[in-house]
Amino acid sequence: MLITTKDLQHLFALIAEGIAAQRDHLCELDGAIGDGDHGLAMDAGCEAAAKAVGGLDAAQTAPTPAFNAAAKAFLNAVGASSGPLYATAFMRAGASVKDRSNLSDDNFVRAFAAMAQGIQERGKAEPGEKTMVDAWKPAADAALKAWASGTALPECFDMAERAARQGCEATRDMTAAKGRASRLGKRAIGHIDPGAASAVIIITAIAKFVQQHDGYLIIPVDM
């Protein structure tokens, strides 16, 4: 099951759709422990990324430049801290599949893990510090582990999605060691981290993409 640049256009559209639907909710979460702009930032970034990737000639563009276009558009559209974090994630995804004209399942799992690692390295946050890393890291670990033990791609991403949800939920009981919420000390307890919540939305969109992609290849085209 190869993933082409045309498929990546669909993926970025799904991500933008998922974030747009939760824009106000993400702003509310950020309003509680940050400056209230997280939904606006993610919506602007994801819409810009989807537009940039969607505007490419998919037949003439390899996955790496498509991810790079997403990174650049996201960074330009977002002034908040999520800007460089996701720009790095998309750049790393692109770098992990360099010189490939389309992606195997293995490439895709590794690109996903590279996103998580990029976010962690760029922001220097460890799990437990109440950031998006608390959703991304367990999701990437779950996908890599399931993939290594021979699990089919849709199930790997189903597990990644569940790990992300659990990781996000766990941020509720944490104090923040990174970002704006770190200034609140114990007052941050009781609130979910907005970046972890948007990470769940993105990872859910990726899981949905994988499931759709897998599904539409099983259906015979002449039916």
Contact set with ligand ADP (CB under 6 A): 30, 34-35, 37-38, 41, 80-82, 85, 123-125, 131-133, 178-180, 193-196
The two structure tokens encoding residue 42? 């993610």
The two structure tokens encoding residue 4? 């082409």
Q: Could you say which residues in the range 27-66 bind Mg ion, by CB under 5 A?
A: 30, 34-35, 37-38
List, in order, residues 6 or more apart from 178 with CB less than 8 Å away.
123, 124, 125, 129, 130, 131
3-class secondary structure, 103: strand
Closer residue to ligand ADP (CB): 154 or 194: 194
Closer residue to ligand ADP (CB): 70 or 85: 85
Q: Could you say which residues in the range 171-210 bind Mg ion, by CB under 5 A?
A: none
Is 207:158 a contact under the CB 8 Å cutoff?
yes
Distance in angstroms (rounded) separating the CA atoms of residues 70 and 39: 18
Q: Which does 204 bind (CB under 5 to 8 A by kind): ligand ADP, Mg ion, none?
A: none
**Nearest distance in Å: CB 194, Mg ion:** 7
Closer residue to ligand ADP (CB): 94 or 167: 167
